[in-house]
């Protein structure tokens, strides 16, 4: 059964005018991480937030901050994000010349390194650094915006990653991000995903944040997970 599935609400879809309140609502509702989407207008078309906002969120919650860097040359900014309290820093391998070095630098700063795979990015790009990371993020939409439709064909990739992690005895979290709802979440967990990122399905629902998180958990409660 799907035990120990984590939910990481993405504040990209939160009301930024009441960000602290929304983060506290998510924590009170039993969220496991707060997922923070950093975009630079280069690696992805959209621009969002930087370290100052992460610093403010850090003061609003005790939950781990799962910071997803959708930026070119993330190595130039990891220290700034580490300083303001990021718990995980996830980078895209296409955005950094030396992904191994970037991962090592993140670790050296006392932060959990992560790598993210776009829907069109193959597993082979991170296969050789799996042992060095704490988190592997499978993008189930092209990164840049909330509220996009789930791309079904990333599921075999999640399954392959689950298998690789298990075969190698690695405990890195396997996370999925994009279009996660109570309808799509069960198939992700079935494929071996353990952390569900959800923005729209948590913050843009007519129901409360607590009810939305509960609905996500409920949707995967009976699922037999791979791995």
Binding to Zn ion (CB under 5 A) within 20-59 occurs at 37
- 132 in active site: no
Q: What are phi and psi of 120, to 5 degrees?
A: -95, 5
Q: Which CB sits closer to Zn ion, 195 or 220?
A: 195
Q: What is the DSSP string of 147-216?
A: SPPP-GGGHHHHHHHHHHHHHTT---EEEEESS--TTTHHHHHHTT--EEEESHHHHSSSS-HHHHHHHH
Tell whether residue 143 is a contact of ligand DX5 (CB under 6 A): yes
Tell whether residue 93 is a contact of ligand DX5 (CB under 6 A): no
Which of 7, 69, 172, 197 lies at the binding interface for ligand DX5 (CB under 6 A)?
197
DSSP class of 114: E
Tell whether residue 173 is a contact of Zn ion (CB under 5 A): no
Which of 32, 66, 134, 177 lies at the binding interface for Zn ion (CB under 5 A)?
177
Selecting among 15, 32, 37, 128, the annotated active-site residue is: 37
- 37 in active site: yes
DSSP class of 72: S
Tell whether residue 162 is a contact of ligand DX5 (CB under 6 A): no
Tell whether residue 74 is a contact of ligand DX5 (CB under 6 A): no
Q: Are the beta carbons of 175 and 138 closer than 8 angstroms?
A: yes
Q: What is the largest CA-CA distance in the chain?
A: 45
Binding to Zn ion (CB under 5 A) within 56-95 occurs at 68
Tell whether residue 92 is a contact of ligand DX5 (CB under 6 A): no
User: Could you tell me the two tokens for 44?
Assistant: 């992805």
Q: How far is the CB of 168 from Zn ion (least distance, A)?
A: 25
Q: Write the CA distances from 31 to 5, 16, 216, integer angstroms.
A: 11, 18, 11
Which of 5, 7, 10, 191 lies at the binding interface for ligand DX5 (CB under 6 A)?
10
Q: How far apart are CA 157 and CA 174, in angstroms?
A: 11
- State the residues that interact with ligand DX5 by CB under 6 A: 10, 12-13, 35, 37, 68, 141, 143-144, 146-148, 177-180, 197-201
Residues belonging to the active site: 37, 177
């Amino acid at each position: 059964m799907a035990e120990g599935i984590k939910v990481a609400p993405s504040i990209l879809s939160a009301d930024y005018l009441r960000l602290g309140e929304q983060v506290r609502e998510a924590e009170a509702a039993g969220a496991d991480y707060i997922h923070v989407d950093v975009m630079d207008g280069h690696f992805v078309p959209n621009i969002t937030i930087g370290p100052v906002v992460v610093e403010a969120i850090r003061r609003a919650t005790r939950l781990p901050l799962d910071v997803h860097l959708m930026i070119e040359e993330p190595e130039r900014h990891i220290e700034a994000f580490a300083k303001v309290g990021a718990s995980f820093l996830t980078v895209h391998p296409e955005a950094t010349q030396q992904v191994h070095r970037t991962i090592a630098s993140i670790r050296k700063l006392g932060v959990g390194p992560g790598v993210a795979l776009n829907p069109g990015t193959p597993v082979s790009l991170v296969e050789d650094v799996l042992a060095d990371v704490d988190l592997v993020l499978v993008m189930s939409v092209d990164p840049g915006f909330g509220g996009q439709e789930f791309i079904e064909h990333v599921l075999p990739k999640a399954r392959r990653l689950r298998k690789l992690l298990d075969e190698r005895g690695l405990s890195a979290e396997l996370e999925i991000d994009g279009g996660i709802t109570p309808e799509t979440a069960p198939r992700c967990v079935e494929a071996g995903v353990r952390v569900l990122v959800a923005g729209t399905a948590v913050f843009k629902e007519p129901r409360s944040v607590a009810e939305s998180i509960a609905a996500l958990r409920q949707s995967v409660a009976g699922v037999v997970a791979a791995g």
